[in-house]
Amino acid sequence: MAFAIARTQTQVREIKVTGGSVALIDAEANHAQSIEILSKHGMRPPTYQEAFVHLMQNPGLKEQLKGKWFYLAGEGLQANGYHTIDNTGNLKAGRGNPEETVYAYPGSRPLSLMVDSDTIVYLRRFFLKGVDWPGSIAQVVVGVKLDGSSQAHAGVLEAAQASKQLQKAVSAVVRSTGPAEEVVSRIAQSGLMNKGDVKKLQALVRDATKLGQTS
């Protein structure tokens, strides 16, 4: 999966990193704007695990992001205090090497990640939090390239021309990190959409998935 840093809405520059490439696009944006920018460029926000894996494996990428914070996929964080990042990007309680240490600040808002410019003051490189208001302006937009089922997510968004309920459901599919079909199934079971819109959404996902598999 390719990793991307969004810094401008008009010019994309890709940099090769371990396991893919990084696209730099200059832009400051709130949560909604970040997702919109990424969708236009065929990307989505990374999970914190994805972000940590790429940052730990690519020192150059970490250097590019020092002193900046950005939105991640998902909302809500239960972890609290100092944690060490393992090789899968997950967190283990306790402080380790400052370059592998993150301070987690729990909350129920959109997740965000700060890459500190130095490790001297706080003895950690990263600050993971779930407390930023969605309207807060991040200094950079960071995303992962859409592929596989993620391409289906993007195709659904482009194809949707329907009711407000369907548009909201499509946005939920695009923002998700799991298989599109599973997200659609949960939406259908929630009873929040009428049966006609559910069928439209299912058809859009099937068509977009076929496109993703052949691209």
Per residue in 151-162, pLDDT (tens digit) is 444 444 444 434
Q: Note whether 116 and 154 are same-domain residues.
A: no
Q: What is the pLDDT of residue 186?
A: 67
Residue 199's pLDDT band, with cuts at 50, 70 and 90, is: confident
Q: Note whether 97 and 134 are same-domain residues.
A: yes
Q: Note whether 109 and 170 are same-domain residues.
A: no
Q: Note whether 49 and 86 are same-domain residues.
A: yes
Q: Note whether 163 and 82 are same-domain residues.
A: no
Q: What is the pLDDT of residue 160?
A: 41
**Euclidean distance between CA atoms 171 and 153, whole angstroms:** 9
Q: Note whether 204 and 155 are same-domain residues.
A: yes
Give the highest mean pLDDT range of 125-129, 144-148, 152-156.
125-129
CATH number, domain of 127, equals 3.10.100
Write down which residue in 88, 123, 143 finishes a domain.
143
Write down which residue in 97, 124, 143 finishes a domain.
143
Q: Note whether 112 and 30 are same-domain residues.
A: yes
Q: Note whether 81 and 155 are same-domain residues.
A: no
Please give the tally of structural domains in the chain: 2
Q: What is the pLDDT of residue 144?
A: 78
Give the highest mean pLDDT range of 126-130, 143-147, 185-189.
126-130
Residue 17: give the domain boundaries. 3-143
Q: Note whether 112 and 138 are same-domain residues.
A: yes
Q: Note whether 70 and 34 are same-domain residues.
A: yes
pLDDT for 163 beyond 70: no
**Euclidean distance between CA atoms 114 and 127, whole angstroms:** 5
Q: What is the pLDDT of residue 105?
A: 95
Average pLDDT rounded to a whole number, residues 128-142? 91
Strands 20-26 and 43-44: unpaired
Q: What is the pLDDT of residue 111?
A: 95
**Cα maximum dimension of the chain:** 58
Q: Note whether 194 and 109 are same-domain residues.
A: no
Average pLDDT rounded to a whole number, residues 117-144? 91
Average pLDDT rounded to a whole number, residues 157-173? 51
- Partner residues linked to 107 by β-bridges: 77
Q: What is the pLDDT of residue 152?
A: 45
pLDDT for 30 beyond 70: yes
- Who wins on pLDDT, 149 or 40? 40
Percentage of residues in the chain with pLDDT exceeding 70? 59
Q: Note whether 208 and 156 are same-domain residues.
A: yes
Write down which residue in 124, 143, 162 finishes a domain.
143
pLDDT for 66 beyond 90: yes
Return the residue matching tokens 């893919």: 20
E strands, 135-202, in order: 141-145
Strands 68-77 and 107-115: antiparallel
